[in-house]
Amino acid sequence: MNVAIIGGGAAGYFSAISVKDNYPDADVIIFEKTHFSLAKVKISGGGRCNVTNGNTSIGVLASGYPRGKALMKKALKIFNTKHTMEWFESRGVPLFVQDDMRVFPVSQDSTSIIHCLMDQTEAKGIACEYWSGIQTLTQKGQQIELSFTRQDLPPRSFDKVIVASGGSPKSEGLEWLVKLGHNIVEPVPSLFTFNMPDESIVELTGVAVDPVLVSIPGTSLKTRGPLLITHWGFSGPAILKLSAFGARFFNENDYTFDVRVNWLDQPNHELVLTQLEEVVVEHSRKLLPNIRPFGLPDRLWRYLLQKSGLSQTKKWSELGNKGLNKLVTVLTNDSYAVSGKTGFKEEFVTCGGVSLDSIDGKTMASKVCDNLYFAGEILDIDGITGGYNFQAAWTTAFIAAKLN
């Protein structure tokens, strides 16, 4: 059996190695269109490679995939974060779990992951042919013929093919798969921070609040977690997660929308009012800025008082019902205008790709072309930041490599 893997990224290498584990006699070749393998692994996690996530609950993990949740829920039962850690550690890459559950190599260097994958392919006799971009796939009987973008490379036929060519920013980049009959979900970017050019809160650069509840009015989009104010807008895990879950909505709205912030992560407004009333009783003679009832950062507290129209020279006793209600609104339902997005440390993933209705989720096999399989970001599966995207690559590659 000869097997072609299209794409020398995380999913491609992991598929190739797993195919050889399953079929030691198979001839396996990786075709990579550039002159470099594992380029994204190299730059991932700021050069440290956040290789997976430390969570082991399938339910918790699956909920980190805005696209592909149902498929991942089943797939993670076969190969999950625990398996990923065992896989790399048993091949000489010790890993550690950070407090925020991100998993990195102990070396804090992505080249540890790259060397591991490359050593494995070399030891198993898997070749990687560079400058070998695939242009078309054609079903020829039970085989698949690959043609190359380079005119000097003749077409080659394979018994099995795994497509692991990564996310494509535009659907035109997936035409070669459409021609075979696959459905494509229009790609749009995921994982970004919010630009707020008209909001003065950006003057509070560096202020962080953990946790907040952020939501998009008129939608069910809502996330919880740390929020960081930057000199261009909002960032931090709560925002990145929101960007992932709302990737398509934000794109459709040209990245112009309102975001609501509940600074207290407290949906019960009555409770907040009661707490503020208690402060009024206890600290009636103190000035508003001098008592911070919810432990919010000083600069933010002063900003929110100002936004509520409350003078910094007012005493708590002078708030009155109107003042109290204004404060409750700003603390629990604060609104900001977003206009534009910024990449997060250059990390991004593609929402969209080969539609999951074109593949059998149990095997990653194409439903429209025999002996063709998919793995990695080419699929309409993407996760939140924190190792979820590499985990999707390892999981789908592991399953595709069974070649069922």
Ligand X SMILES: Cc1cc2nc3c(=O)[nH]c(=O)nc-3n(C[C@H](O)[C@H](O)[C@H](O)COP(=O)(O)OP(=O)(O)OC[C@H]3O[C@@H](n4cnc5c(N)ncnc54)[C@H](O)[C@@H]3O)c2cc1C
In the complex, the residues that contact ligand X under the rule CB under 6 A are 6-12, 31-34, 39-40, 43-45, 49-50, 133-134, 164-166, 346-349, 376-377, 387-390, 393
Residue 121 tokens read as 């392919």
Cα Rg of the chain (Å, integer): 25
Residue closer to ligand X by CB (options 147, 329) is: 147
In the complex, least distance from residue 41 CB atom to ligand X, rounded to whole angstroms: 6
Q: Which is it for the CA torsion 359, 170, 137, 36, positive or negative?
A: negative
For residue 374, what are the β-bridge partners? 163
CA distance 264 to 259: 15
Residue closer to ligand X by CB (options 179, 322) is: 179
Does an H or E element contain 139, and which? Answer: strand 134-140
Do 119 and 128 form a contact (C-beta atoms < 8 A)? Answer: no
Residue closer to ligand X by CB (options 233, 353) is: 353
Residue 343 tokens read as 């990449």
In the complex, least distance from residue 104 CB atom to ligand X, rounded to whole angstroms: 8
In the complex, least distance from residue 238 CB atom to ligand X, rounded to whole angstroms: 18
In the complex, least distance from residue 163 CB atom to ligand X, rounded to whole angstroms: 8
Residue closer to ligand X by CB (options 50, 80) is: 50
For residue 193, what are the β-bridge partners? 342
Residue closer to ligand X by CB (options 301, 390) is: 390
In the complex, least distance from residue 159 CB atom to ligand X, rounded to whole angstroms: 19
Q: Which residues have C-beta within 8 Å of that of residue 189, sequence separation ≥ 6?
A: 169, 247, 251, 341, 348, 349, 350, 351
In the complex, least distance from residue 151 CB atom to ligand X, rounded to whole angstroms: 15
CA distance 175 to 187: 13
Give the residue closest to ligand X by C-beta: 9
Measured at the CA of 59, the angle between CA 54 and CA 63, to 5 degrees, comes to 85
Instruction: Please report, as a single letter, which amino acid is at residue 64.
Output: G
In the complex, least distance from residue 68 CB atom to ligand X, rounded to whole angstroms: 12
Residue closer to ligand X by CB (options 48, 260) is: 48
Residue closer to ligand X by CB (options 9, 187) is: 9
Residue closer to ligand X by CB (options 4, 330) is: 4
Do 333 and 262 form a contact (C-beta atoms < 8 A)? Answer: yes
* DSSP annotation string for 68-103: SHHHHHHHHHHS-HHHHHHHHHHTT--EEE-TTSEE
Residue 132: how many CA atoms within 13 Å on its side-chain side?
Answer: 20
Residue closer to ligand X by CB (options 80, 389) is: 389
In the complex, least distance from residue 117 CB atom to ligand X, rounded to whole angstroms: 11
Do 378 and 164 form a contact (C-beta atoms < 8 A)? Answer: yes
CA distance 131 to 182: 25
In the complex, least distance from residue 140 CB atom to ligand X, rounded to whole angstroms: 19
